[in-house]
Structure 1
């Protein structure tokens, strides 16, 4: 098993090194005429970016001093996002290179034809019936670099070096601009705060009196060295503005310890509606027991494999799968085993893969997060391979699953093709 892990790690490292060498080559080596400071600066940028990125991840997971985490997080995590889109843009540029290579050649040929055309119009070149032009003297044109017997410089050859630099610089410049613009806009979208998404979910067992009941679903806030107290305040203000009946916080609230992040989480006390919380996998990297107690202190109701009977339906919650390593994993039997199955049941479970257990226990609606909707395109394809639903509402037998894209972001504070959201689920009674 250890050998397999080592081989996989070496293969991944090899792919990473090759991808970054290719990136350096296209952005710096191919855009410079000869070795020099620009190439060395490019190598330092690529290597230094990855040193910061790895340092940011290790510092966060190892619980390094919070100030060090903050110093490393911004440049390190942003480099992760930027390198992804630089690589994608440079690869896309390969399709444009053949077209750009033709442009200077055509211009060179057109320029070479102008003097001859001018000579014809001026009568200095004999017409076709006058016979062929006299052969140049041997060695003619040697002084200006022409090949003997041609009388002129080789057009295509004289443009080769400048043409290669022109194409490389155009592609590299466009790739850099596209990558920086994409990451910049995606980062602005996260820091601006999540937008509200409204979804209506009909439930057959829901009584008529509960028609229009609203649940504000927020997941994956990921408070940490980048997203702090001001971000939590935006989330809380957005939720309160929707005036929900209850709030469901479905995991991955934090990336860090209670001592470091308690001030960042403090605005949760301002949630106006009754609020419920279940753990996500990141809570188990950050001290789940301590965070359960902290959210309870902040006024939220943790549902640790537990259920509460609300006036119109049962609300249950299960721990995240990551808790299995410490004996705190999900227990569907404890949360759902003895309930009245004639009542509608809404389950809070961080990961969409928990839907299969929810179906077995007759849950009507499961609310999840975890996927971030892929966060960085084309990450949605990877997320789809690991989760039954990446984002949105889908049905599995008699159970419906809604997956939020999440309010924050993990790693890079950037989203591309997966905008953050707070979803207001409006329950609809089929009896209404």
Structure 2
């Protein structure tokens, strides 16, 4: 729902009745993942998309019916090959879709409105809705904010609401959309209950340390990918807005001091990518010593294999464990074969994107890979889901002496 928050907020503010169809689960190949939404108002106007056209017409009709009846529910759309005109996904996947009526007097309306308002103001908040559980609780919602406060109720006990708010808050802290499992009595007790959690969070951060040509190219591609980009260097002559016009901010500071301040201010999370391009020990070692101890999504450092070996020894001397050192992506980037600043930036961005979605170590051309084209993100085994990072050994990548 929050992928169309700006438009829905206008509908909400104008007291318009509407219903929202939201993807809650995907099996097999499907164009869009959980959280993708199609909204329909009482005039039949539609916003958003569920599947790129496969099931939109059927979902549109279900939304209109929900507006009229006030009743929602979860519907499944699967592959339909017997009848070319039947409702289904031609790509062969299965979508579970929650239909939620949001009419003037519906109890869920102010809860959804709170999250839409927060998203519109750039505040961190999340919407948790019951997508599986007792019929009387289906569609019930909580709006959870960054400070831990919440609005709404799930139709059970206060203990259930508190437990659900904690689970929703954990996904919000990671800036993730996903599902949370708990019981109707709170915790894991009682009947099973599944929440779809949609997080409204600011764009993921890309912190680029080292004001060099590679940094300028990386700032451009990072901005293109939707990140909030910061370029930081301790040398004022190199780090200027004119050199990095695509960056959201340029900072003159010692890298490790800047990273510490950003972390202490609560501006970093498990989606944050840190790219260290200085390959200068007086900058790199203090910075990486801190970065590898924080629960950040990606930490990569530029340099040759010899530089990496020397850097690893220095970091080990600083007390970093083998597990922490295994998180370091160095030499930085995937081995795409290029060498220009732009090609190197593409290799780096490809790597931190792959790490975020749990694909690092399994990169293949789609034409050579088996299985569905669209697959949900899978955190590597042994790591918290919020981190989406592996403990792979040092691998090949773009090398810069």
Task: Report if TM-score (shorter chain) is over 0.5.
Answer: no
Q: Which category of TM-score, normalised to the shorter sequence, fits these structures?
A: under 0.3
**Which one has the bigger helix percentage?**
1
TM-score by length of 2: 0.27
Larger Rg belongs to: 1
**Which one has the bigger strand percentage?**
2
